Amino acid sequence: MSDPAFRQALQRYDDGTAERADLKLLTKELLQRLVAKAPGHAVEVRVPPYGAVQCIEGPRHTRGTPGAVIEMPPDLWIDVALGRISWPDARMTGKLRASGERTDLSALLPLS
């Protein structure tokens, strides 16, 4: 995490003063780290309104709703991606929706 903009946004997030631009930067950077760690097109990870990526090897989705989808709000994504909350605990919050095969990201997290 050597990017100064990322570190500054994360500091504001930790301080509780993050703005939309900070959440967007953190969300997009962490989604890109997920793709770098698990390239592929089998699972779509959505963090509205800031981003969505396809990752993890497996069947490629080409049209319509993918067979495997994970969706959560930005604050939960940031916390789970950085290992501040475990995947099982994130699922228990009720804010994370996951359906389809390969939607357990436990083995890929944290991304730091």
pLDDT at residue 61 in the model? 62
Which CATH number is correct for 4-108, 3.40.50.300, 3.30.70.3270, 3.30.1050.40, 3.30.70.360? 3.30.1050.40
pLDDT at residue 39 in the model? 96
Q: What is the pTM of this model?
A: 0.92
Consecutive 10-residue runs of the chain (112 residues): their mean pLDDT?
88 97 98 96 95 88 77 98 96 94 94 81
Tell me how many degrees the CA angle 27-101-52 measures, rounded to the nearest 5: 20
